[in-house]
Structure 1
Amino acid sequence: MSSAEEPLISRQAAPSQDPDPNDETTVHEDVAAAASPTIFIYLLTFSAGISGLLFGYDTGVISSTLVSLGTSLSSRELTALDKSIITSSTSLLALLVSPFASLLADRLGRRRVVLATDAVFAAGSAVQTASTTVAAMVLGRAVVGAAVGAASFVVPLYVAELAPAAFRGRLLTVNVVFITLGQVVAYVVGWALREYGDERTAWRWMVGLGALPAVVQAVVIAFMPETPRWLVLVGRAGEARRVVAKVLGGKGGKREVDATVKAIEIEVREESEGRRLRNSGTGGAASGWKASLQELFGVSRNRRALSIACLLQGLQQLCGFNSLMYFSATIFTMVGFPIPTLTSLVVAVTNFAFTIAALFLIDRIGRRRILLWSIPFMIAGLLLAAWGFSFIKLSTTDSAPAKTPADGAAAVILVSIMVYVAGYAMGLGNVPWMQSELFALNVRSLGSGIATATNWGANFVIGLTFLLLMDAFTPSWTFVLYAVICATGYGLIWRFYPETAGLSLEEAASLLEDDNWGVR
């Protein structure tokens, strides 16, 4: 069983030990491993995954919105700096909110945080729809950023703590599938409204429709339960038993339910005892978030887990992928495609299709291997795009297409971007969001929150600088820069990211305790 298939809510016996037929935990693991996801689990994953749809829709819709605004904001054409600020304001608020969302998820519960993000997202969509100035649009984008920042952290955590062990990697990837589906929907909506709607109000419909999935999710998830681990953590073991029974769907009896909850309770006690011993050794007893920070940064295994998670989350953004999602319609307009939003849809469909492929391959190939196999395709696509851009003279200061006909170069750029996106969807688009597997239970929420903040910090940098880099260094050198970042990331992954397929949690932990970080 790979590390992705290890239960986050139970502890396995070490592989070297013979299973005890009378041990309840062993019995539960056998049932969990054999069972397929129940309808209840699929409903949970769907209801939580709508947050991914919201995230993807917001990422995609801004691309169509930027080429549809005209003089609607502040009665003037937008500059490259205007577009950059409008785009990056979402990432900035997501960066600021995601670490605090981890604390709220521990205090209020995972489910309540998801519900709160729906309300905030709907409010942000309303502000964008009513905007008449650049400043108001930036405010609306920032409010939406607060929602997606919290949701991008808490939804994978919510699914991971509820999903059956044998299907965890697959169900976590479903959330990424929802993100890519949201991008496809955004491009379809953007194209339809731009081609057939009123050009003066089309962009308002684009951003306003984002509130609809938020309302749907709020209604559905209001009837969904909390995760068993959080319920045990706050002393509500009875409710945890009922949730576990629903997860098992009648495939495990009372014995299996009790064994699962008992395993969670043991872990919670071990975490508490371990923290008490460490605090006594330092002469003080920290509490709350201070204790979690001490645990995260004071234990070498946790520091290494955080380093790996932040590396993957940072690389996911610094490779430049979301610059294409945010500005693809702008790029294809400048290159000379007659219907840029429709061309952007081709890229989004590529992303969606290869994310579906990753859904079936991620648990078979392994995290390290799929990254090392897919990143070279990203590098090749970026370098090919840089070569294609060298034949086209364009500027980001307006939306006019390139004045020099270069149909062959435009086709090369489109194909190269599709190759790049396909490689991204197979690896970097998925693996970083499995970050919760790297952390021990007592630092999982905080560590995942910090790693998610790293993602949004890098996203902010990319959104703010992409058009400015295109102007300052030309598109070709901008894409070469992203290729260099991908190559650097490839080297760091090869050196520091161990393959955990087939290892128990204990073995994975021992890998990160080694000076070589477990890479063999």
Structure 2
Amino acid sequence: MPGAFVWLCASATAIGGMLFGYDTGVISGVLVVLGTDLDNRALSSTDKELITTLCAAGAFIGAIVAGITADKHGRKPAAWFASVLFTIGAIIQGTSYSIAQMSVGRILVGLGVGSASTIVPLYIAEISPARYRGRMISVDMIFLGTGSVLAYAMDAAFEHVDHGWRYMVGLGAVPSILLGVFLFWCPESPRQLIYHNRREESVRVVRQIYPNATEQQIADKVLSIEQGVTRAKALEEEVTLNKALKALFTIPANFRALVAACGLMFFQQFCGFNTLMYYSSTLFGIVGFKNPIAVGTVVAGVNWIFTVLSIFLIDRVGRRRILLWTMWAMPLCLILAAIAFKWVPIDRQTLELTSDKVGWSADIVLVAMILFVAFYAAGLGCVPWQANEFLPMEVRAMGTMMINMFNWGPNIVVSSTFLSMMKGITPPGTFGFYAALCILGWIFVFFCFPEASNMNLEEIRAVFEHGFGVRYAEIWRKQQRAAIRLSHEESGT
């Protein structure tokens, strides 16, 4: 049973996830109230897409840098680097008077977002006991959702303040400073300490993680970690970019694990959720709501509630099951929104209403989006960030980098094309497009995403040695349940 210490470490580093949510969500309200503060002119749709996309572009680069350096320098330095980038980027954005300056700030914040999105789940996965790993990584998702809620709350609080958008983006520096401070009390990952021949430190950290464990249990845990690290070092004497990439793509089990993890992240981004995170205020303004920022805050709140709900279900229900049980409803919600948009009078050239009478169609769009977000947050919003557990130790950092590339690459596409798609193929066509991708995502999960809950990181390695391991993992779970029942029966006699 893990102690409070490991939960505090997970929560402290998950502030990086909060900044991820805040800096990607705050732009929704900023775009609505910027006015002519940048370059003394109103922003075009292209300008809005540029400012929004640069954060994702920076995150793409940040994820690559963090993935390359995470094994060489450890998990904590990368997290510290992210906190510095968040702080500097927030200050530059808050003091911007031109699109160019704002763009620099968005890129720097994006670099921090990408680094944090790589390192935080990786770090938490490596300090978490197998039984609690899903819930502990979900802490990062809860903080991410909290960051989004805070972003919309700040948007609403400063919406009617002169130049209030500066406070919206500038306040992002506060949690980033807290992250940097709290990291002083967080230890390095035990696996990283063993990897870098710092065994005594690793023993001390394991003892902190399991305060109620006996010395023999601690010794057994450290031995298990050593065996995994030794196996990793035997496969690759010195972790380098070329060798890690080669191991990912040329070893069939590693490649299948990578496909499962990256494929799920791809569908997480192309399901259309981030169009709401980036453009919800703009979207709800398009359909006719008088206070679109407040409406966007409701959607962010729903995201947070169902993310919290998932933390209680994900290890009990299982990653695969929770995906299959929630992803089927997401395309239905998008199709409902697409149908409702047929009755919203919009000028496709300007994305502005051509009539003051909208009414029921706007309400249906809102309900559809709330339901979509609820199903997304309960499953697809959380599970992909835990998929780095599929990857063996020797390629985990590089594989996590690849997962994040499949996060931020599609994110760039979504954020840079949403408004253009709304104009080019109409709102119904846009939402129908994302609905089709959601259906493909459900099919992908059914055939290619195995259940890994309650397996330790070393046991998961064997799953992908049997194809994508869907049937193998189910057999393993049945055998484990049978063994547990037998153990209980024997202990009761």
* Superposition TM-score tier, normalisation by shorter sequence: over 0.9
* Cα contact 1:335–1:410 (8 A) shared by 2: yes
Q: Specify whether residues 506 and 102 from structure 1 end up closer, same or farther in structure 2 by C-alpha distance, changes over 3 A only.
A: closer
Residue 261 of structure 1 corresponds to: 222
Residue 416 of structure 1 corresponds to: 368
Q: Counterparts in 2 of 1:363-382, with a 5 A limit? A: 363-382=315-334
- Paired residue secondary structure (2:289): coil
Q: Given the alignment, which residue of 92, 95, 98 partners 2:63?
A: 98
Q: Counterparts in 2 of 1:196-211, with a 5 A limit? A: 197-198=161-162, 201-211=163-173
Q: Specify whether residues 241 and 516 from structure 1 end up closer, same or farther in structure 2 by C-alpha distance, changes over 3 A only.
A: closer
Give the counterpart letter for 1:260 in structure 2.
K
Residue 320 of structure 1 corresponds to: 272
Residue 126 of structure 2 corresponds to: 161
TM-score (norm 2): 0.92
Q: Counterparts in 2 of 1:14-413, with a 5 A limit? A: 35=1, 37-195=2-160, 197-198=161-162, 201-249=163-211, 251-275=212-236, 288-395=240-347, 401=353, 403-413=355-365
Q: Given the alignment, which residue of 376, 382, 387 partners 1:435?
A: 387
* Cα contact 2:449–2:468 (8 A) shared by 1: no
Shift of residue 100 of structure 1?
2.1
Give the counterpart letter for 1:389 in structure 2.
F
* C-alpha distance in 1 between matches for 2:243 and 2:468: 28
Give the counterpart letter for 2:18 in structure 1.
L
* Cα contact 2:345–2:358 (8 A) shared by 1: no
* C-alpha distance in 2 between matches for 1:144 and 1:406: 37
- Paired residue secondary structure (1:73): coil
TM-score (norm 1): 0.87
Q: Specify whether residues 438 and 237 from structure 1 end up closer, same or farther in structure 2 by C-alpha distance, changes over 3 A only.
A: same
* C-alpha distance in 1 between matches for 2:257 and 2:348: 40
Q: Does 1:488 align with 2:488?
A: no
* C-alpha distance in 2 between matches for 1:65 and 1:399: 18
The farther-off stretch of 486-495 and 412-421 is 486-495
Count how many residue pairs are aligned between Structure 1 and Structure 2.
Answer: 472
- Extract unaligned runs of 5+ from structure 2: 475-493
* Identical columns (%): 38
* Cα contact 1:329–1:341 (8 A) shared by 2: yes
* Cα contact 1:384–1:413 (8 A) shared by 2: yes
* Cα contact 1:392–1:404 (8 A) shared by 2: no
Give the counterpart letter for 1:42 in structure 2.
W
* Cα contact 1:90–1:141 (8 A) shared by 2: yes
Structure 1 vs Structure 2 CA RMSD: 1.7
Shift of residue 363 of structure 1?
1.1
Task: List per-residue Cα deviations over 1:337-392 (Å, max 9, x = no partner).
Answer: 11111000110111111111111111121111111111121111100110111111
Q: Specify whether residues 392 and 374 from structure 1 end up closer, same or farther in structure 2 by C-alpha distance, changes over 3 A only.
A: same
* C-alpha distance in 1 between matches for 2:371 and 2:178: 34
* C-alpha distance in 2 between matches for 1:105 and 1:74: 39
- Paired residue secondary structure (2:26): helix
Shift of residue 269 of structure 1?
1.8
* Cα contact 2:131–2:454 (8 A) shared by 1: no
Task: List per-residue Cα deviations over 1:33-68 (Å, max 9, x = no partner).
Answer: xx1x32211210111111111011112210000001
Shift of residue 181 of structure 1?
0.8
Give the counterpart letter for 1:202 in structure 2.
G
* Cα contact 1:115–1:222 (8 A) shared by 2: no
Shift of residue 289 of structure 1?
2.1
Q: Specify whether residues 246 and 210 from structure 1 end up closer, same or farther in structure 2 by C-alpha distance, changes over 3 A only.
A: same
Shift of residue 256 of structure 1?
2.5
Residue 485 of structure 2 corresponds to: none
Task: List per-residue Cα deviations over 1:395-430 (Å, max 9, x = no partner).
Answer: 476685552411100100000000110110011101
Task: List per-residue Cα deviations over 1:96-132 (Å, max 9, x = no partner).
Answer: 2212211211111101111110001111111111111
Between the two structures, name the one with larger relative contact order (CA 8 Å, sep ≥ 6): 1
The farther-off stretch of 438-447 and 410-419 is 438-447
- Extract unaligned runs of 5+ from structure 1: 1-34, 277-285
Q: Specify whether residues 111 and 133 from structure 1 end up closer, same or farther in structure 2 by C-alpha distance, changes over 3 A only.
A: same
The farther-off stretch of 398-407 and 259-268 is 398-407
* C-alpha distance in 2 between matches for 1:169 and 1:218: 25
